[in-house]
Amino acid sequence: MKKVLIMLGVPRQQFEHILKGWEIVYPVSGSFTNEELIEKVSDVDAIVTVYGNKLSNEVIDAAPNLKMIANFGAGYDNIDMAYVGKRGIVVTNSPDPVTEPTAELAMGLMISVARRMGEMNNILKNKEELQWGVMRNLSTTLVGKQLGIVGMGAIGKALARRAVASGMSIVYHNRNEVDEQTANALDAKYVSLEELLKTSDVVSLNMPLTADTKAMIGQEQLHQMKSTSYLINTARGPVVDEEALIKALEENVIAGAGLDVFENEPNIPDALKELPNVVLMPHLGTATHETRGEMSALVAQNIKAYFEGMTPPNQVN
C-alpha cells in the first residue's frame, strides 16, 4: 500500500476519492509540527506540502522512501529544490486552479486602493468624523488608465483580461514576450521594466519568487513610478523591498498599495497597517472554497499519475 502524508488540513475528500487504496496521513489539529513530520515520514512515498509552509531538509532526510513532493499551490519556494533534486525526488505544483481567483483578488485590490474603499470603510466603521460632499473624499478611476503587469504568466494574463474589460490599457514585462495572438487579444505591449514603471498608473506584480526576482522592486524602482500610481502585489512578499515600499508610501513617492503578500509572513509591519493608502489582505489570493477543492484534486491527480508510471501534468523539476 502506498502512503502519502499531507502537511496541512486541506480538503481531504478529493484525496480519498482519487487515491483509493492509499494510506493517507492527515493532521488532526490543522497541521503537523516539524518534529511530528520527522516522526511520521519514515515510510511515506509522497508528501503534500502547502505553499507558505516550509518543508525542512530534516524532514527530507527522515524520509528514505520519499519519491515525490506534491505542492499545494503554484509557488514552490517552500521547498529546497536543489536539495530534493540530489535525491531524485519529483516535485509538482498545482497552478491552474489558482489563476482566476488570484487575478480576481488583484483586480479587487486595484479597485479598493484606487477608489479608497479600504480607507473609507475603516473611517466609517471606526465612527471617525467624515466630511461628506461632492468635492470631498475624491479617488481615482481606473477607466482609461494604464496597467503595467510584471510577470505575464497565467495570472498576469487573467488580470489583463479583467483590466481590459474595465477600460484599462496594458503594458507588460516578462522574461519572454507572449504569443502574438494573446498580445493582440489584450492589446498588450511588451516594454522594459523601467518603461513600465515610469508610464503605468497601476503596477501589478505577478512573477514567481526566484533569486532574480527577490527584492526586484526596491527604492530605485519605486522612485521610477509616478507619484499618482499604485503598486499591487499578489505574487510573493520578498519580490518587494518592504522597507523601501513603506518609505515610498510615507513620503508620497507613490499614491498607494494593495498587498496580499508580505516579506516576513505572517508578520506585517505596523507602518503598513497604519497607512491609510494601503489595502491589506492576509495572503488570500487563492482562498475560496471552490479553489481549495480544485487544488486538492489536482495535487492528488499529480500523485496518481506519477505512481502509475506517467509524467505528472504539473512536474516542475
Q: Which residues are catalytic?
A: 236, 265, 283
The three cell numbers locating residue 65:
522512501
Q: Tell the residue number behind the cell numbers 488570484, with chain if given.
A: 102
The DSSP secondary structure of 17-72, one letter per residue, reads HHTTT-EEE--SSSB--HHHHHHH-TT-SEEEEETTS---HHHHHT-TT--EEEEE
- Helix, strand, or coil (residue 233): strand
Q: Tell the residue number behind the cell numbers 512573477, with chain if given.
A: 207
First-to-final CA distance of the chain: 26
238 near 210, Cβ under 8 Å?
no
What's CA 91's distance to the chain center, in Å? 19
